[in-house]
Structure 1
Amino acid sequence: MTISEYVPQAPCGALDPAAALFHSLSDPTRLAIVQRMAVGEVRVRDLTSELGLAQSTVSGHVACLRGCGLVQGRAQGRSVYYSLTRPELLDMLAAAEVLLSATGNAVSLCPNYGLDAQQTRQAPEVVR
């Protein structure tokens, strides 16, 4: 089923799977993991060194992507090699790049999700 089939007659709840898909890709670390997997299989250990993040952080993000059905693991000896399950994901990301280019990256100015909003959410609270 396509998103166009949901609109306009479908209630907003019918879009929940699409919203969940986009939410799963909304984290910059998960996007970096997906982009790395576009090149080929990778172990969590490799992602940890490439991204400069803790193993637990990378494992959590890989688990999220795996739970969404976007990533799969292949055991080889004591290692697990992760890869993308759907090539369509790369098509979607390429389409997003085209859209970002066409809009001049205007989404970065969005008050809810743009760069300023991200910095506000990540700023530590001052305790007095």
Structure 2
Amino acid sequence: MSRYHRSMAMNGGEQDTMPAVALFRSLAEPARLAIVSRLAAGEARVVDLTRHLGLAQSTVSKHLSCLHDCRLVDFRAEGRQSYYRLTRPELIELLRSAERVLAETGNAVALCPVYGDPVPAAGEAS
């Protein structure tokens, strides 16, 4: 049985999945996922990320701090600039695997009534 099978009892099975849940939660916020995706192409400064994402510097810094606390990104200082990079190459493969899953399922997650994008009911404006 898969380690991540949904019907596992809380007395061990679900507890074992909590680190994976935390990892996916850290990537579930769109801005953080966009930052990780951008850093998959190579290191970047906060100013590079703000331009790329169209977000405020404070927002990007907050998300980088979260990703740093999760040990998914690190940085090096060069003068007054900090250059951020992914800490684990496996994270890039995780993103690629997610893209393959989405492609193979026809992006069905987007249609999920719990986790997908809300779809307006018939007659409602979108």
TM (normalized to structure 1)? 0.83
Q: Which has the higher helix share?
A: 1
Counterpart Cα distance in 2 of 1:112 and 1:77: 46
- Give 5+ residue unaligned stretches, structure 2: 121-126
Residue 56 (structure 1) shift: 0.6
What is the one-letter code of the residue matched to 1:89? L
- The equivalent residue for 2:41 is 39
- SS of 2:83 mapped into structure 1: strand
Q: Deviations over 1:85-123 (max 9, x none)?
A: 000001111111110011100000111211117x9xxxx
Give the whole-Å Cα distance in 2 for the aligned partners of 1:71 and 1:88. 12
CA contact (8 A) 2:3 2:13 kept: no
Gap regions ≥5 residues in structure 1: 120-128
Q: Which residue of the other structure, out of 65, 80, 86, is the alignment partner of 2:67? A: 65
1:84 to 83, 86, 104: 86
1:36-67 CA-partner distances (Å, limit 9, x unpaired): 10111101111111111111100011111111
Select which of 113, 116, 119 maps to 1:114: 116
CA contact (8 A) 2:3 2:17 kept: no
Deviation at 1:11, TM superposition (A): 3.0
Q: Give TM-score scaled by structure 2 length.
A: 0.84
Question: Which stretches of structure 1, 4 residues or longer, exceed 4 Å deviation after superposition?
Answer: 4-9
1:94 corresponds to which letter in structure 2? R
Superposed CA RMSD in Å reads 1.8
1:29 aligned residue (28, 31, 44)? 31
SS at 1:20 equivalent:
helix
- Which residue identity does 2:95 align to in structure 1? L
1:14 equivalenced with 2:16 (yes/no): yes
Q: Percent identity?
A: 57
